[in-house]
Chains A and B, each alone.
Chain A
């Protein structure tokens, strides 16, 4: 089966800076991960304490019809920088737990966002978890009335200096 991973969307693409890069390692980076550039300009996944150079966006336009969402070594991808707003479900956060409204966000392990403070680099905060009392959510399979996936909106500031 597939390795489709949750819901993560950059919701203000026209307001971000889009930086080209390539993945250094295979099977490491997918859309939504926090990545940093090495000295050769290749993207590698961030871990706790790293300074991120952007949020990965990669639709993998491969002629061989990819089975995975993760980039191959040397595969082109883009990094969204500066003012990045994202809608995320819990899979984009360390511990697979959706943070609460107003929580500060830091660079976490394996390219994920984390709310843990110690030894980490601040990258943004949760700016919305509901609208007029209604959850930010999307429908998920199989599609019944209660098959909903809650989301939060995060505002990130990445690679400003």
Chain B
């Protein structure tokens, strides 16, 4: 995949990347060749070869060459081509996917899922008596309802010419983040409904505006008791760092005095320790501070159905002088075992 930046003025500056983007990070090419050409396509400056490995270093060298050339116009042109605005909106971190097993379906498939109906039984009898016959009954199915989420991004041609940096890439990242946020909101609704089905035991609330050791201890015990032990959790990183306040009893006890040494070191370095209760954490700043979600493995919870990857379509509107990009995707969620999801709600 290549990414092209267009600069201001009438000149065209191309900067080529050879690496695709990946979630949460800007394009960081492993190999790059940078060139600066004027409108007549005359080579102004270049650095690197196809084997050049340090792209950022190459970029800086090209910038230096341009600057040393003494042409402020060229320098400014190139600087605007590679200087993007400093982010003020942190990337969205999706978190609900860990609770659902993926179940991709083709368009037109019957998305039925069989429903479990346990009936296995055995009874005391006598040597010459008949057994009690047990017969499986109706195999019921559910068909989760798909929902579609869409986004449209229109980029004016004059915007592309004016801004001088890869604005479309940044705005598309935000679109992708918003699609993920909407998807998570729907999935979270299923988690909420799931724990509500057994709220007396599967929703544990504590006040004090903190993640308490007593809360997770209680949920771990309850889940183990019924045979659906908690193995993973989803939490806001700021909330997870409440571990720094955990003690083991009286206020005179040192925090974590009974914990393994490497756990104490982790708390010292990162304000939380991994693997308490063998819980595997999904950490996302986009989980509210008032909730922590726990569950077993996703294949023992439910399904996330899709119609393949997100689809996109682009068009050019010559009347409005803009490029138009539409992205859409279908999702459905289903929880088959509400006993395998737990919530710790935290209030002030």
Contacts and interface: CB of A to CB of B under 8 A. Distances in A.
B227 interface: yes
A9 to B, nearest CB: 5
A60 B133 contact: no
Interface stretch (A41-49, A100-108, A110-118, A141-149): A141-149
Interface stretch (A18-26, A66-74, A91-99, A119-127): A66-74
A143 B226 contact: yes
B39 interface: no
Interface in A1-43: 1-4, 7, 9-14, 30-31
B226 A60 contact: no
Contact of A4 (B110, B117, B121, B133): B117
B296 to A, nearest CB: 11
Contact of A9 (B118, B134, B140, B142): B134
Nearest to A132: B124
Given A136-B123, A138-B119, A142-B227, A67 B135 contact: no
Interface size grouping (class) on chain B: 20 to 34
B137 A65 contact: no
Interface in B95-143: 110, 112, 115, 117-121, 123-124, 130, 132-143
A139 B118 contact: yes
Interface in B129-164: 130, 132-143
B261 interface: no
A87 interface: yes
Contacts of B120: 138-139
B142 A2 contact: yes
Contact of A66 (B140, B337, B339): B140
B225 interface: yes
Interface residues of A, number: 36
A144 B225 contact: yes
A68 B139 CA distance: 9
A111 to B, nearest CB: 15
Contact of A31 (B115, B137, B142, B339): B137
A69 B119 contact: no
B118 A31 contact: no
A8 to B, nearest CB: 8
A125 B118 CA distance: 26
Contacts of B137: 31, 59, 69
A107 B125 CA distance: 29
A142 B228 contact: yes
B112 A141 contact: no
Contacts of B110: 65
Contacts of A143: 226-228, 339
A144 B138 contact: no
A10 B320 CA distance: 72
A34 to B, nearest CB: 17
B35 to A, nearest CB: 60
Interface string A50-91: 000000001110000111110000000000000000010000
A12 B138 contact: no
A12 B130 contact: yes
A59 B139 CA distance: 7
6 closest A-B pairs by beta carbon, nearest first, are A142-B339, A144-B226, A11-B132, A142-B226, A2-B115, A65-B141
Given A69-B140, A139-B120, 7 more contacts: A2-B115, A4-B115, A4-B140, A9-B134, A9-B135, A67-B143, A141-B118
9 contacts: A1-B142, A60-B139, A65-B110, A65-B112, A65-B139, A66-B139, A68-B140, A142-B226, A142-B337
Interface of B: 110, 112, 115, 117-121, 123-124, 130, 132-143, 225-228, 337, 339-340
